[in-house]
Amino acid sequence: MSFTVHPMTPVIGAEIRGLDISRPLDAETVAGLRHAWRDHAVLVFRDQQLDPDQQRAFVSIWGTIGKRSQALPSQRPRAWDGPDYNADAMLVSNIRKDGKPIGVLPDGEMWFHHDMCYAAAPNRASFLYSMEIPSHGGDTHFASMSAAYDRLPDRLREAIEGRRVLQAFDELQDRRLDLDTLSIESVKHAWQPMVLRHPETGRRALYVNRLMSHRVEGLSPQESEALLDELFTYGEDPAVRYEHVWKVGDLVMWDNLNSMHARTDFPREERRLMRRFTISGTPVTAAWEDASAA
């Protein structure tokens, strides 16, 4: 099977053309896709027709399929008992049934984040497939955190070297948790390195995001906020972004270690239905853990 790779930007994102990913892929094709994914972090496959089993089969070539995290009652499925909703597939949708969302993260904007960075072993990759989209909005913006790190001034690199950050998440999509009033034990959270080393490329990647990164270890709250604000600005710089405008039938997969993503607002009254699978990951490796690979 042959395919072509079309980079979307100089630093992140590529469209793969010429493949029907609903069918089994040979080893050479899979190797080529792995190469493209390592180079571009975000791969886009247009015009795909995938039922849950076909999407699951495609995802499974990349690793072990991740189980959904449902530790908190607020993050459990609410009103959907259809075939799409089980332990590994997750519907991201604003569609309501009997007044309750059939999926998660239903409405509106969602700030930049790394999926599950608040877990000890975050998902390695996510695979989102679009089935219904609104007339406008609901775009997904991806940012290369390797490129963001490379653009940091020395002053900021030195400020974050060797430090950890508190990643936490409840269900807020466009504001941060108020840790002055909230017990951290009541939400999912983890201390993570502020810079990770990518397991395949060896490159450093900034590992902070506006939605989920809350406190820098060892700094006062004021110092922490000031530092994080600067880092968010570098991470969200348009120069390191690919902005995906969805069409029905798109399958977009992203590297959850060296990219973060955000969703733009969209009309609340229009339907949006996406199906997500993930590949499970291992604990994040800090950039400074393995100096020999630097």
Binding site for Fe ion (CB under 5 A): 115
CA distance 144 to 237: 10
Q: How far is the CB of 219 from Fe ion (least distance, A)?
A: 27
CA distance 133 to 93: 10
Q: Which is nearer to Fe ion, 163 or 188 (CB)?
A: 188
Q: Which is nearer to Fe ion, 115 or 236 (CB)?
A: 115
- Contact 124/272 with Cβ under 8 angstroms? no
What residue type is 245 in one-letter code?
A: V
Closest CA to 157 of 230, 104, 97: 230
Q: Which is nearer to Fe ion, 109 or 158 (CB)?
A: 109
Q: Which is nearer to Fe ion, 115 or 250 (CB)?
A: 115
Q: Which is nearer to Fe ion, 112 or 149 (CB)?
A: 112
CA distance 135 to 137: 7
Q: Which is nearer to Fe ion, 45 or 127 (CB)?
A: 127
- Contact 207/194 with Cβ under 8 angstroms? yes
3 state SS of 142: strand
- Contact 211/111 with Cβ under 8 angstroms? yes
Backbone angles phi, psi at 101, to 5 degrees: -60, 140
Closest CA to 254 of 186, 205, 187: 205
Burial of 254 from C-beta contacts in 10 A (0-12 / 13-18 / 19+): buried
Across-strand partners of 204? 197
Q: Which is nearer to Fe ion, 65 or 219 (CB)?
A: 65
Q: How far is the CB of 128 from Fe ion (least distance, A)?
A: 8
Q: Which is nearer to Fe ion, 122 or 193 (CB)?
A: 122
- Distance set, CA 258 to CA 13, 121, 252 (Å): 12, 15, 15
Q: How far is the CB of 98 from Fe ion (least distance, A)?
A: 26
Across-strand partners of 35? none
Tokens of 238: 């348009």
Q: How far is the CB of 113 from Fe ion (least distance, A)?
A: 6
Q: How far is the CB of 275 from Fe ion (least distance, A)?
A: 14
Which residue of the chain is nearest Fe ion when measured via CB? 115
Q: How far is the CB of 115 from Fe ion (least distance, A)?
A: 4
Q: How far is the CB of 63 from Fe ion (least distance, A)?
A: 18
Q: How far is the CB of 261 from Fe ion (least distance, A)?
A: 6
